[in-house]
Amino acid sequence: MEPGELLTTLGARLVGGVVLVALPLIGYVVANTIWHVHNLMFFHRVTLLSKLAMVTGLLLGIGVIAAADFRPSLDINDIVANGGMWDVSWRRFLTDIADPGLYGYEPLWQKLTAANLPGLWVIYGVGVSAAVIACATATIAMLRGEEFLIGIVAMLYEVLVMQALAMYLIMLFAYTLCTFNFWTALLALLVLQYYRYVNRSASH
């Protein structure tokens, strides 16, 4: 790889890395700003409701990604394979892989209602069902009147935010593992160039 090509590739990777890390941080700031709206602040003061919504969203995000039938394989060998489905530009990663809006609940529902469900999926199904029921029960039991209606919206909002965050971070983790191959190759190239330089200096 020529120095100019290396710098171009390195620059693109750095820009992509900054963007990919910045997106969830920006999302957190936006979500946190919304939570400080006066009519919603009571929801986060009720710790149980907030924690249940958070856990439910995380579980749903994990399940939706695990059940998705068109995403790139999460097998470690496929993730680190050169030229594989994860070996794409950061722009394509954002639009074709990491966008939570690409993934629906139907594959997850089909997985959970399939005959001869694997043991791990049985455990997951029990866990996510318990979390959803706990969210609904806690909201009904702890909120009344106007706060109940606002609480339903707030609960759904936090579940969706945490679900999207979980999905994005899972995908970003896999993409980061794939990208490490580039940094490993870069390090090897730098070491090789160093030894070439040392050998040339020694020969003179």
pLDDT, residue 69, reads 86
pLDDT, residue 2, reads 47
- Specify the 3-state DSSP secondary structure of 69: coil
Over residues 145-167, the mean pLDDT reads 87
Q: What is the pTM of this model?
A: 0.77
Q: Which of 157, 186, 178 is nearest to 49 (CA)?
A: 157
Split at pLDDT 50, 70, 90, the class of 196 is low
Over residues 129-134, the mean pLDDT reads 93
CA distance 164 to 61: 6
CA distance 11 to 58: 33
Split at pLDDT 50, 70, 90, the class of 127 is very high
Q: Which of 62, 24, 66, 49 is nearest to 158 (CA)?
A: 49
pLDDT, residue 193, reads 64
Q: What are the pLDDT digits (tens) for 29-60?
A: 887 777 666 666 667 777 888 889 999 999 99
Structure tokens at 144: 């009344």
Q: What are the pLDDT digits (tens) for 161-192?
A: 899 999 998 998 888 888 776 555 555 555 56
Q: Is the dihedral of CA 144, 145, 147, 150 positive or negative?
A: positive
Per-residue pLDDT for 131 more than 70?
yes
Over residues 81-100, the mean pLDDT reads 87
Per-residue pLDDT for 7 more than 50?
no
pLDDT, residue 11, reads 57
- Cα→Cα distances 159→57, 109, 129, 135, Å: 4, 17, 14, 10
Print burial letters for 49-79: b (CB count within 10 Å at least 16), e (below 16). bbebbbbbbbbbbbbbbbbbeebbebeeeeb
pLDDT, residue 194, reads 58
Please give the residue that has the higher pLDDT: either 201 or 114.
114
Q: Where are the domains of the chain?
A: 3-203
| DSSP code, position 88 | S
